[in-house]
């Protein structure tokens, strides 16, 4: 009798596990890395009408996962402390509600870089004024939120090449600590074509003090890609890119020690680890 009951409990547990695995769709399995600098996938509701969501007063990407449920895809700022967080959701027919989620911890390594150009370590007053103008332009681009749904969230790699400097490194230039590494670097020869990892609109191009030649692409709903240190830019503001379309070429412009692509991904104005979107995340 007990043996039969134990077998029934085991079978029921397997069935529940299978049901939960089925409920957790592909996008959740790919993207849910709720750590500082990561992505938290938060279930919102069932139904046909899309809910809306905000985290830290900023609108959040909302997707319909494989016909099962609506999910919020939340960019978790790198500076956030691990622990309980919550977002605000507006669900049709249910009004506004607060939904909690947990942010886990993650350790990031250090990187020490030596630069010969001292102005890239301690910019002069003219450089500082230029940097302030350029940062304001780029912050505005990161804060953009358009209603279109991204064409895909499982991104293509923008270039073929070895992943070099990972996201989140604590960076020291000539012994001085600076902002953590906010993107993912690909080691690739100068002139290598850079392709759009998903469809989107070019919203900003520039040649900046730190970033060099730079392109920003809006994929929709606050999902933004930034590509910098380019040797050439092949697009203009307002261009609508297809997935895989060439937008520029790898270079070493700006503050760079050699040719490579630096790729940022931003969600709800939080820079997050691009490796999540290409299935290369390492805890």
And the tokens for 21?
């695995």
pLDDT band at 143 (very low <50, low <70, confident <90, very high): very high
Other Cβ atoms within 10 Å of 165 Cβ, number: 18
What's the predicted TM-score (pTM) here?
A: 0.86
pLDDT of residue 83: 97
Closest listed residue to residue 35, CA positions, set 153, 197, 186, 167 = 167
pLDDT of residue 9: 33
Task: Please tell me which residue, 81 or 179, carries the higher pLDDT value.
Answer: 81
pLDDT in tens, 75-92: 999 999 999 999 999 999
And the tokens for 77?
């700022």
Per the CB < 8 A criterion, the answer to whether 249 and 161 are in contact is no
Whether residue 2 is predicted with pLDDT greater than 80 in this model: the reply is no
R_g of the chain, CA atoms, integer Å: 21
pLDDT in tens, 197-210: 999 999 999 999 99
Q: Which domains does the chain possess?
A: 2-103 (2.60.40.1590), 110-278 (2.70.70.10)
Question: If you average pLDDT over residues 205-226, what whole number do you get?
Answer: 97
Is the CA virtual torsion 159, 163, 168, 169 positive or negative? negative
pLDDT of residue 23: 59
Whether residue 171 is predicted with pLDDT greater than 60 in this model: the reply is no
Closest listed residue to residue 122, CA positions, set 131, 112, 109 = 131
Cα separation, 132 vs 126, in Å, equals 10
pLDDT in tens, 26-43: 999 999 999 999 999 999
Whether residue 4 is predicted with pLDDT greater than 80 in this model: the reply is no
Give strand ranges (E) for the chain: 39-45, 52-55, 58-59, 61-65, 69-75, 83-91, 95-103, 110-113, 162-163, 170-173, 176-177, 184-187, 193-195, 200-208, 212-220, 223-233, 240-241, 246-250, 260-267, 270-272
Question: If you average pLDDT over residues 224-246, what whole number do you get?
Answer: 98
Whether residue 8 is predicted with pLDDT greater than 70 in this model: the reply is no
pLDDT in tens, 91-136: 998 999 999 999 999 988 766 566 566 666 678 899 999 999 999 9
pLDDT of residue 215: 98
Tokens 């100068």 locate to: 190
Question: If you average pLDDT over residues 44-63, what whole number do you get?
Answer: 95
Whether residue 175 is predicted with pLDDT greater than 70 in this model: the reply is no
Please give the mean pLDDT across all residues of the chain: 88
Task: Tell me the percentage of the chain whose pLDDT exceeds 90.
Answer: 73
pLDDT in tens, 240-279: 999 999 999 999 999 888 999 999 999 999 999 999 999 9
Q: How far is CA 118 from the centre of its chain?
A: 31
Cα separation, 270 vs 262, in Å, equals 16
């Amino acid at each position: 009798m007990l043996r039969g009951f134990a077998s029934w409990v085991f079978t029921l547990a397997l069935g529940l596990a299978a049901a939960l695995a089925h409920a957790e769709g592909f996008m959740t399995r790919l993207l849910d890395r709720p750590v500082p600098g990561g992505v938290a996938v938060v279930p919102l509701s069932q139904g046909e009408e899309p809910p809306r969501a905000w985290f830290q007063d900023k609108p959040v990407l909302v997707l319909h996962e494989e016909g099962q449920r609506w999910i919020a895809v939340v960019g978790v700022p790198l500076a956030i402390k691990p622990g309980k967080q919550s977002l605000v959701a507006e669900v049709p027919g249910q009004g506004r509600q607060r939904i909690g989620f947990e942010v886990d911890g993650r350790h990031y390594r250090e990187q020490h870089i030596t630069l010969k150009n001292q102005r890239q370590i301690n910019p002069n007053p003219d450089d500082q004024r230029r940097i302030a103008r350029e940062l304001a332009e780029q912050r505005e681009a990161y804060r953009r939120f358009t209603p279109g749904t991204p064409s895909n969230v499982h991104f293509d790699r923008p270039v073929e090449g070895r992943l070099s400097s990972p996201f989140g490194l604590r960076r020291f230039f000539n012994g001085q600590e600076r902002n953590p590494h906010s993107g993912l670097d690909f080691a690739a020869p100068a002139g290598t074509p850079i392709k759009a990892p998903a469809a989107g609109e070019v919203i900003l191009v520039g040649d900046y003090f730190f970033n060099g030649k730079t392109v920003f692409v809006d994929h929709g709903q606050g999902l933004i890609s930034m590509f910098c240190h380019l040797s050439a830019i092949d697009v203009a503001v307002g261009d609508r890119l297809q997935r895989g379309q060439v937008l520029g070429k790898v270079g070493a412009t700006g503050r760079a020690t050699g040719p490579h692509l630096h790729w940022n991904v931003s969600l709800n104005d939080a820079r997050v680890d691009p490796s999540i979107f290409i299935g290369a995340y390492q805890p």
